[in-house]
Amino acid sequence: MFSFATPSVYQSSKCFVTYGVMSHLEPGQVPTKGKPWSALLGQDFVHKVDLILPEELLQLVKDKITGDPSRAPVFYKVIMKLGQILEGHFFTEYIKRGVLMMYLDKETYERAGLVGKPHGVKGKRGLKPRWIVQFELRSPSMLHGKKGFDRLAYACKNVFNTPITWLFHNLSKTPVPDPLLRHYPTKYTSHAGVTDGLFTKVPSLKPPPAILESQNRLDLNEFATDIYEWLSLIRLESPRVNVSDKIDPYLSGYAVPGNPEDVQEGKLCRISWQGFIPPKWTQQILADVILALPSKSWFSLSVTSFARGIIGDSADCTILRPPSAPGEYILWDIRRHD
């Protein structure tokens, strides 16, 4: 893995690009340390996963991954009041660790009587100021009789007393009896959706040797930006990357990156999962894809997390294995601005 110069302190980076080599992957032993594995595990719960690869590899993925229903991620939708999460067996069995974060308008914040902080940069909070209230639910202060817990319980009873919809995923063994069942949860399974027959202009997906030899950060950033844009257009099913696209250049100036003689035509497919997906599942699916596909084939795996703030700013992580480059990868780690 190459080490590049640190960006200027005046830059506010959001996208971090890494080009490196993964260690050898053994079946049944999924790494947790080192990139790209740590980048996937560092995500919050994931909203969408996209796997892009040549169409001739689709059947392999169906046979070894998507054809097994037990591999599909499962989650629940349940309607509960906030206070019910803090009660009895549900809190004891399911809230092992975690942070409760609430974005409140001024009126609700004042009625709740909780301690928070203004959201956003001072002077740029818009016409409707918001406050962030945050609780570490397994801290020593989150016990009955403690001041912090009693304040939250009071707010739940008198202010946050309207039932709302929650998405739920159990990261551990389901307790017996299950305290979730009394709230009548609805079970959902994130089955894979396949979009095939994408007849696409495909650029060179491997960094030019000159960039790797010189370790030139600016050239790598330019190459990575172009490839990330191309992958994003495929995820969006944009016609701009289609072989048949004939849009007026006055309306769109986009062109597939690279020298025209290096651009090829090929059929691609996209396999997507959407739901409330834990980051550990995305880590496992990356390992499954690497083990299922030929070592010299290329693919990209993109995961997009749920937005945490009120502005809808979500994190995104994309991993590309270039063609004829076993073990090598390009990682785009796009972080939200908290």
Average pLDDT over residues 76-89: 90
pLDDT in tens, 147-166: 888 899 999 999 999 999 99
For the segment 193-209, what is each residue's pLDDT rounded down to a tens digit? 999 999 999 999 998 88
Q: Looking at residue 312, what is its pLDDT? A: 63
Q: Which pLDDT score is estimated for 336?
A: 72
Does the pLDDT value for residue 66 go beyond 90?
yes
Residue 314, CA distances (Å) to 44, 102, 191 in order: 9, 16, 23
- pLDDT for 271 equals 97
In this prediction, residues 236-262 reach a mean pLDDT of: 91
On the question of pLDDT at 7 being above 60, the answer is no
Q: Find the mean pLDDT for residues 163-173.
A: 90
Residue 177: predicted pLDDT: 87
Please state, in angstroms and as integers, the Cα–Cα distance from residue 56 to each residue in 244, 262, 263, 294, 312, following that order: 20, 21, 19, 11, 36
Q: Are 81 and 164 in contact (CB under 8 A)?
A: yes
214 CB-contact burial (10 Å; exposed 0-12 / middle 13-18 / buried 19+): exposed
| pLDDT over threshold 70, residue 73 | yes
Sign of CA dihedral 94, 99, 102, 103: negative
